[in-house]
Structure formats: structure tokens, C-alpha cells
Amino acid sequence: MNEHFRRFNSGRANFFLVAFIALVLAGAVLKITASVVLPFIVAVLLAFVLDPIVRLLEKLKIPRVLAIILVIAGIGGGLYLAGLILFSSGKTILSRYPRYEKRFLEIYSWIAGLFGLPYDEHRTFVENLWGQLGFRNSIRDYTLSITNGFIEFLKSLVMVLLFMVFLLLESSHLEEKIALAFENRFSGKIRSIVDAIVDQVSRYLTIKFFVSLATGIFVALGLALLKVDFWLIWGIISFILNFIPTIGSLAAGAGVTLFALLQFWPHGWPVVGAFAVMLLVNFVIGNILEPQIQGENLGLSPFVVLVSLLAWGWLWGFTGLVIAVPMTVIIKIICEHVPILEPVAVLIGSYKDMQKYKKNKELLLSDQNSQSNEER
């Protein structure tokens, strides 16, 4: 590391200054062009994960085009099944709403008494809230945002599927294109960068999928044993939110606990049980099993993971939170393979990753010293 500081000069300082300005401008461009760039990025990440499945089907003598169609059909079937579950659960929620009306009123009357809000026991829960400042506008804005968000989701989903199909079709010729485009001058380094990105990102997303699936299943089973309403919905929500490190588990746990409070009010033990299920499942799977399976291959600092969640979440909203870690891993891999950006890779890496980097530098320095001694 000292050798890096000795080689540091004003030229490198100017480079990092220009790089910082370019990074800010790139962030602004990504924010503005999110409607086009984000579906492409999601399609690329999904292509990393699905390409090994397509290659496996090819080994079974299935043509690549047919293999891609089968994979896309499987994804479509999964989305259709999830949509059916959510739609039927939504109908069930509406049909059971009168059961929760009394609980809503009891909780609201307690909150109204605590904060001095107006409350009329002869009016419904919605009618009581309707008179509060800004509630009517909030409901209207929230309804419009949900409608617009669903339409944008469908448009983005179609774009993601189209991008992903063409990327999977082109991926089989990627190495040949790289070698031809760069005439073997940088093709080796570019190929190593692409291979590292594909390996680590596909491994991370694959493991995260199965870990999130296990989290959703155990959460659903635990809540079903406690007779929490809509336990299947909460399992699906836990599955989705588990893709967001730390924050997702906290959000799912808070949602389940609040809903259990609503359902079982004023009884406290079922609420404690629901909270314990969320805490136990997320702790065991997220803090014990997942690190053992995932290992240290990502090499990211926990602080950098949190900062990346803030940055990518600000850029691309919920989708940015989900893909924050893979995008940061890609940046780290590129920095590792570009000599002038190696300090950035060290700064955003974990402590264990730093130790490995330090050992590699020491081995390289010792080899150089031994070669110089031999020449003498």
C-alpha cells in the first residue's frame, strides 16, 4: 500500500477529480433516463442468471431458441401464478374488511385520545379519518400513484423481457465478438472482467433467490401456525423484500407485526409470536445460513452496502434497492481490473478482501525483489 502512496501524484489527483465530476454527471443521466436504462440493466442481470440454465438445456440437445422460450415461459408462469395469488388475496381482504373495522376504530380511538384528535364513535373508521387534515388528498394521490405505478410496471416488464431475449440470443457469440473487436489487445482483460462479473453476479442472485424463497416459505408457515390472516401474502412480501439487504427484512418484520397488532388487538401474545417468527427466520437464514452459503465472494464492506442502497434507491427507487448490491459488485470488479482504479476497489471492499489484496501485493513485491537479486 505504501508503494501506491509513493506513486501518487498530481496527475492521479486530477484524474480522480475528473472521475468524481463524471460520476455525478453519470448519476444525473441515469436518473433522467431511468425509464429506458433501468429495464436494460435488469434484463442484463437476469440474463447473467438465466444464461447457465439456457446452456444446460442446450446440453440436453434442446435448440437455444427453444431453450430461451422455455425459460421465458417459466418466468411468465411464475409471474402469472403470483398475480393470481395477489388478486385472490386482494378480493379476500376486501371481503373481510368489516371484520377489521371494529379493530381500526378501537386503535384509532386510543390514538385520538392520546394525541387529542377528533373522534366520533357513531362514524366509521374511514369517515373519522376523512375529516383529518390532508387525508383526502393523500388517499387520492396514493390511488393515482398505485395506478400509474402498475402501468409503468407492465411497460417495464415487457421491455425487460424483450431485452433479455435478445441478450440471451447474443450471449453465445460474446467472446468471439470481444476478440474480434479488440483484436486480442485487450480481449483477455475484458474477457476476465466479463467472466468475473457473470460469475459473481449470477452466483449472488441465484443464492439470493433461493434464500429469499426459503425465507418466504418459513415466514408463511410460521404465520400460518399462529393463524395470522393472509399468511401467504406475507410470505410473498417477505420473499420480495428479502432481496433488499437489511432494510427489506426490517420492513417485512414491521409490516407483519403491525398487521398482527391489528388482527389480535388487544391480545398481545400473538403479536409477540408474529414478531418472534420474523426475527427468528430472518436471523437464522439471513445471518447464519446465507453467509455460510454466499461466502466472502462479494467482498463488499457492510458500510458500502448501506451507502449503495441509499444511492441506487435514490436513483431507481425500489428496483434500485433490489439491484444495489449486484451493481456495486460490478463497479468493484471493474475497478479491480483497472490499475488506476485499484484504490477504489480497496476502499469499497471488505476487511477480509483488503487482507487478500495486501497479501497479493506482498507476494508480487517479493517476486520482484527475488528477480532483481537473481539479475544481480
Q: Over 80: is that where the pLDDT of 220 sits?
A: yes
Q: Which pLDDT belongs to residue 261?
A: 83
Determine what percent of the chain is predicted with pLDDT higher than 70.
Answer: 67
pLDDT (average), residues 329-342: 81
Q: So what's the pLDDT on residue 333?
A: 84
Please say whether the beta carbons of 221 and 281 come within 8 A.
Answer: no
**In this predicted model, which residue has the larger pLDDT, 158 or 107?**
158
Task: Calculate mean pLDDT across residues 69-86.
Answer: 83
For residues 272-288, average pLDDT? 86
| Cell numbers for 165 | 431475449
User: Which one-letter amino acid corresponds to residue 274?
Assistant: A
Q: How many residues in the chain?
A: 376
Share of residues in the chain with pLDDT > 90 (%):
3
Hey, CA dihedral for 249, 250, 255, 257, is it positive or negative?
A: positive
40 versus 193: the higher-pLDDT residue is 40
| C-alpha cell read off for 245 | 439487504
User: What angle in degrees, to the nearest 10, is found between the helix axes of 302-322 and 10-32?
Assistant: 30
- The pLDDT tens digits for 241-255 are 888 887 888 888 888
Do 220 and 234 contact (CB within 8 A), yes or no?
yes
Cell of 148: 400509474
Give 68 or 97, the one with higher predicted confidence.
Answer: 68
Given a cut of 90, whether residue 218 has pLDDT beyond it is yes
Mean pLDDT of 288-305: 72
Find the Cα–Cα–Cα–Cα dihedral 155, 156, 157, 161, rounded to 10°: 110
CA dist., res. 118 & res. 46, Å (int): 51
According to the model, what pLDDT value does residue 133 have?
47
When pLDDT is cut at 50, 70 and 90, the band that residue 121 belongs to is low
Q: Region 5-21: what's the mean pLDDT?
A: 66
pLDDT tens digits, 312-324: 888 888 888 888 8
**DSSP class of 120:** -
- The phi-psi region of residue 118 (left if phi > 0; otherwise alpha if psi is between -120 and 50; otherwise beta) is beta
Choose among 305, 249, 259: nearest CA to 282: 249
Contacts 24+ apart (CB under 8 A), 243-248: 243/208, 243/212, 243/322, 244/309, 244/321, 244/322, 244/324, 245/305, 245/309, 245/324, 245/325, 246/305, 246/306, 246/309, 247/309, 247/321, 248/321
68 pLDDT above the threshold of 70: yes
- Quick: pLDDT tens for 22-41: 888 888 888 888 888 888 88
Contact 86, 104 (CB under 8 A): no
215, pLDDT greater than 70: yes
State the chain's mean pLDDT as an integer.
76
Answer yes or no: is pLDDT of 295 > 60.
Answer: no
How far apart CA 86 and CA 105 sit, in angstroms, is 26
pLDDT of the residue at 1: 47
